[in-house]
A and B are shown apart, each in its own frame.
Chain A
Amino acid sequence: MSTDVILKAEGLTKRFGGGGFLAKAPVVQAVSDIALEVRRGETFAIVGESGCGKSTLARLLMRLLEPTAGQVTFDGQDISHVAGAGLTRLRRDMQFIFQDPFSSLNPRMTVGKLIGEPLEVHAPELTAHERRRKVAELLQQVGLPAEHANRYPHEFSGGQRQRIGIARALASGPKLIIGDEPVSALDVSVQAQVINLLGDLSRDLGLTLVIIAHDLGVIRHMSDRVAVMYLGRIVEMGTAAEVFDQPRHPYTQALLASIPAPRGAEEARPQLTGEMPSPSAPPSGCAFHTRCPHATPACSAAIPAPVRVSDSGHSVACHRWADIPAPEGQATPPARSEQAEARFALYRAALAGAEVQYAEP
């Protein structure tokens, strides 16, 4: 893996609301002061509970939203306010896979048209015949028969639709693909197929992937580096091994402990109590102090800055990280690796089944 940065965010902030005709709508700060770097060729994951702002962050990185403050740099170019022809160019190099494979495909267009449309825009020099051939190629690349180009989206299953979505994203020949919960709408067995497909494609085509997800099993399996978000901020970031095996932030620890163990691991787990606070009225200081078992009065005073805790770039935004032990139960393999193993075994089984299924025409 190179250290060549393809996508970079600095001080990225997005606020919603505040407008309104008669009464001011409450301001929601969905994403606050995010800094991250995605390296070329890696798979970067962003995790967090629902409502933590990860989808907003994804949309900011995709330039589907304009940031309130801060900037996003893609391939050395500031894209936070790009528009017009620049935006069209950006859409060629950076593509997206959406969460819902059912609603994100236009029901009135054939699959061939859906996949061919980006080609019409980004490769207008292709003839209709060449375009059809390219569409067939893309369909095969994602494991679908080329003849399916004449069918409509409603004739496919969820997993097949997500494959169509991936073929569509690949059509323009992007360098980076951002997936906003790309598998969370699918069955577990189908999730594995799609995850493995994404993994194969990123390896074969040298793609960079940014995956937004709330399923830690999925993340662990496929990502190189992970960022954990809480209430619009990144609280911990590092390699997948670091974040999963030596979580330093109490929130990450609680998040990992919340994965149900496959069988009776009854040891004490740090439990999260209470609800996530509203992003329109975030707690002062460290946003997590209202639910943190280690919080001190100082935690509500100042927002913690990310601190590097290892040479490889593992960073934690917590005032008390040095005082909090990396939990034993978390660090030792049994509890987690067993469940991970179970999950991976399931993936492998499903994949084997899938290969049989797709081998037939």
Chain B
Amino acid sequence: MLLFLSRRVLIALPTILLISVFVFALQKLLPGDPLLVLAGEERDPAVLELLREKYRLNDPLVVQYFTWVTNALTGDLGISLRTNQPVTELMLQKLPVTLQLAAMSMIFALVIGVPAGILSAYKKGTVTDYIANIVALSGLSIPNFWLGIMLILLVSVKWQLLPASGYVPLSEDFGQSIRTMLMPSFVLGTALAATMMRHTRSAMLGVLSADYVRTARAKGLTERRVVLKHAFRNALTPIVTLTALLFGELVAGAVLTEQIFTIPGFGKMVVDAVFNRDYAVVQGIVLVTAVGFIFMNLVADALYFILNPRLRGQ
């Protein structure tokens, strides 16, 4: 297990290195000069030169890259050009928000998508299958912003059941925090549930026709046990993969949904940073989400290991 995981980590390292080079290079290639934003109205060459000196923009590119990487490794991702706050601090403020949103959305996606997928595979070709497919496809086809606005209109404005927007930290008021996140995570979750359902369905279809499922039936087990214990466990691999990938995507930010529900998460921060040419922030976010993605894949790998006894012997 340790050997397997350490091998995966070793494979991940060059990927992270490549990402860091890519992120750094992309910044330099983008049009527009952050100093012009910083210097504001004054376009005095002396001031610009001073700023260049301050942010060490006169160093050769390679030196700039290594300075950035070494700083990043010590947790220093630079200072936001706009707010003058350290980027790390800014991100640490947003991270819990985004993680909570991502986790709750994922729960919605799993709770809706997986049972629907199992059911539609089990009842393949029946009315149940068609209904599940239609519901899942509508979840995928309805744009998040529209569903979000409709939910706010109905649930918050008309019935006044849930808060329309904002964010309350979990540590402050647990119940209220969950309540505020309920609608946005539902909006994100339903869209992912469709993908989840389709993947679960196809994985289950493959497994349900397997010989060992027939063996399980022949043993005289109940259908429930055959489907959940024998079939579903063998169909888990693609579901785990998908969960890891979708979770990575969720952490990278759900720009529109965060905007609609005015949630101070990563998505909103990225958009703001891009528009303000706040390079340090953009770089930091891209780097952290990329590393997060790789981490989620490692988690998925570890899960395969637990789920699949055939891997353990190797």
Contacts and interface: CB of A to CB of B under 8 A. Distances in A.
Contacts of A90: 220
Nearest to A165: B215
A92 B220 contact: yes
A108 B220 contact: no
| Size class of the B contact interface (CB-based, 8 Å) | 20 to 34
Contact of A64 (B212, B214, B308, B309): B214
A157 B214 CA distance: 21
Contacts of B212: 103-107
A278 interface: no
Contact of B309 (A62, A87, A117, A154): A154
B220 A122 contact: yes
Interface string B204-221: 000000111011111111
A344 interface: no
Given A103-B211, A103-B212, A172 B220 contact: yes
Contacts of B214: 64, 98, 104
Residue with the greatest number of chain B CB neighbours at <10 A, chosen from A87, A88, A98, A117: A117
Interface residues of A, number: 29
A118 interface: yes
Contact of B233 (A100, A108, A118, A154): A108
A107 B310 contact: yes
Contacts, number: 66
Interface of B is mostly: helix
A179 to B, nearest CB: 12
Nearest to B213: A106
A106 B234 contact: yes
A274 B42 CA distance: 95
Nearest to B218: A96
A108 B234 CA distance: 7
B313 interface: yes
B107 interface: no
Contacts of A100: 211
Nearest to B233: A108
A107 B211 contact: no
A91 B309 contact: no
Interface of A: 62, 64, 87-88, 90-92, 95-96, 98, 100, 103-110, 117-118, 121-122, 152, 154-155, 165, 168, 172
Given A104-B212, A154-B310, A168-B219, 5 more contacts: A103-B210, A106-B212, A106-B216, A107-B212, A107-B308
